[in-house]
Amino acid sequence: MVYNDAFAELLGSKHPAVFGRPTREAVAEVWDLPNVGAAFRRVLETGEPFLENGVRLSLRRGRPAPLRLDDGYYTRAASPVRDDSGAVVGVLHMVLETTEGVERVQELASLAGSLAVAATVDDVCKAALHHIALTLPAVEVVVCLPDELAPGAPTGELRATRHRADERVSPLEERLPLIWTPLRGPEREVVQEALSEGGLAQHDDLAVIPLPTDGHTGAVVLRLEQHPLPADAHTLLASAAALVGQALARAHLFDRERSTAELLQRALLPQGLPQSGSFALAGRYEPVATGAVAGGDFYDAFTISDGRLVLVIGDVMGRGVAAATVMGQIRAATRGAAISDPEPESVLSALDELVLGLDDLWPDAVRTGGAQRQGGGFGGELFVTMLYGLLDTHTGEVTLASAGHCPPVLMPSRRTQPGDAADDHSDDPDRPDRAHIVDLVSGPPLGLGGVRPVQTVKLDVGEVLLAFTDGLLERRSGTLAEGEERLLDLLDSVPTDSPRGVCQRVVEGMAASGGFEDDCALLALGRSSLEHRRASLVVPPLPDAVRPARDWARAQMAAWGVDEEAQFAVVTGLSELVTNVVLHASTDAHVSLELDGLRLTCSVSDTGSRGLPTSSSQGATATRGRGLQLVSSLSSAFGAHRSTTGSTVWFEVDVAPPGAG
**Three-class SS state of 159:** strand
Q: How open is the CA angle 340-346-348, to the nearest 5 degrees?
A: 115
Q: Which residue has the higher pLDDT, 11 or 343?
A: 343
In the prediction, which pLDDT does 366 show?
A: 44
Please give the share of the chain, as a percent, with pLDDT higher than 90: 30
Question: What whole-number distance in Å separates Cα of residue 29 and Cα of residue 62?
Answer: 10
**465-479, 535-549, 565-579, 596-610: the lowest-pLDDT one:** 596-610
Query: 619 pLDDT exceeds 50?
Result: no
CATH 3.30.450.20 fits 5-97, yes or no: yes
- CATH for 287-527 is 3.60.40.10
Please spell the DSSP secondary structure of 31-73, one letter per residue. Answer: HTSTTTHHHHHHHHHH---EEEEEEEEEE-TT--TTSPPEEEE
**60-74, 234-248, 415-429, 573-587: the lowest-pLDDT one:** 415-429
**7-16, 198-207, 540-549: the lowest-pLDDT one:** 7-16
pLDDT mean over 495-514: 88
Chain segment 96-131, per-residue pLDDT in tens = 887 777 777 788 888 888 888 888 888 899 999 988
- State phi, psi for 555 to the nearest 5 degrees: -65, -40
Confidence of residue 289 (pLDDT cuts 50, 70, 90): very low
In the prediction, which pLDDT does 617 show?
A: 40
Confidence of residue 351 (pLDDT cuts 50, 70, 90): very high
Nearest by Cα to 596 from 481, 474, 461: 461
Q: Which residue has the higher pLDDT, 372 or 416?
A: 416
Cβ-based neighbours of 544, under 8 Å, separated by 6 or more:
none
In the prediction, which pLDDT does 610 show?
A: 47
First to last CA, the chain: 83
Query: 65 pLDDT exceeds 80?
Result: no
Chain segment 444-473, per-residue pLDDT in tens = 999 888 999 999 999 999 999 999 999 999
Query: 303 pLDDT exceeds 90?
Result: yes
Nearest by Cα to 400 from 382, 411, 414, 386: 386
Asked if residues 415 and 497 have their Cβ atoms less than 8 Å apart, the reply is yes
Confidence of residue 363 (pLDDT cuts 50, 70, 90): very low
In the prediction, which pLDDT does 55 show?
A: 80
In the prediction, which pLDDT does 308 show?
A: 95
CATH 3.30.450.40 fits 101-261, yes or no: yes
Please give the share of the chain, as a percent, with pLDDT higher than 70: 81
Query: 374 pLDDT exceeds 70?
Result: no
Q: Which residue has the higher pLDDT, 389 or 640?
A: 389
Radius of gyration of the chain (CA): 31
Best mean pLDDT range from 135-144, 205-214, 459-468, 491-500: 459-468
**30-34, 167-171, 213-217, 320-324: the lowest-pLDDT one:** 213-217
Q: Which residue has the higher pLDDT, 442 or 176?
A: 442
Nearest by Cα to 249 from 285, 282, 217: 217
In the prediction, which pLDDT does 487 show?
A: 95
Question: What whole-number distance in Å separates Cα of residue 367 and Cα of residue 378?
Answer: 9
In the prediction, which pLDDT does 231 show?
A: 80
Cis before 228? omega within 30: yes
DSSP bridge pairs for 302: 310
pTM comes to 0.58
Confidence of residue 287 (pLDDT cuts 50, 70, 90): confident
Query: 370 pLDDT exceeds 50?
Result: no
Query: 316 pLDDT exceeds 50?
Result: yes
Query: 391 pLDDT exceeds 50?
Result: yes
Q: Output b/e per residue, 247-275; b: 16+ Cβ within 10 A.
A: bbbbbbebbeebeebbebbbebbbeebeb
Residue spans of the domains in the chain: they are 5-97, 101-261, 287-527, 533-654
Confidence of residue 54 (pLDDT cuts 50, 70, 90): confident
Distances (CA, A) of 642 to 175, 288, 604, 622: 9, 12, 12, 22
In the prediction, which pLDDT does 615 show?
A: 44
Query: 409 pLDDT exceeds 90?
Result: yes
Strand order in the sheet with 646-654: 533-539, 589-596, 599-606, 646-654, 637-643
Give the DSSP letter of residue 276: B
Could you list the beta-strand ranges (E) of 183-333.
201-203, 206-213, 216-224, 279-286, 295-303, 309-319
SS3 content of the chain, % helix, strand, coil (to 5): 35, 30, 35
Q: Decide which of 3.30.565.10, 1.20.1260.10, 3.40.50.2300, 3.30.750.24 is the CATH code for 533-654.
A: 3.30.565.10
In the prediction, which pLDDT does 364 show?
A: 44
pLDDT mean over 66-76: 72
Query: 156 pLDDT exceeds 60?
Result: no
pLDDT mean over 277-292: 76
In the prediction, which pLDDT does 23 show?
A: 87
- State phi, psi for 637 to the nearest 5 degrees: -160, 150
Contacts 24+ apart (CB under 8 A), 261-264: 261/293, 261/294, 261/319, 261/320, 261/321, 261/323, 261/324, 262/293, 262/294, 262/644, 264/294, 264/321, 264/324, 264/325, 264/328
Domains 5-97 and 101-261 share a fold: yes
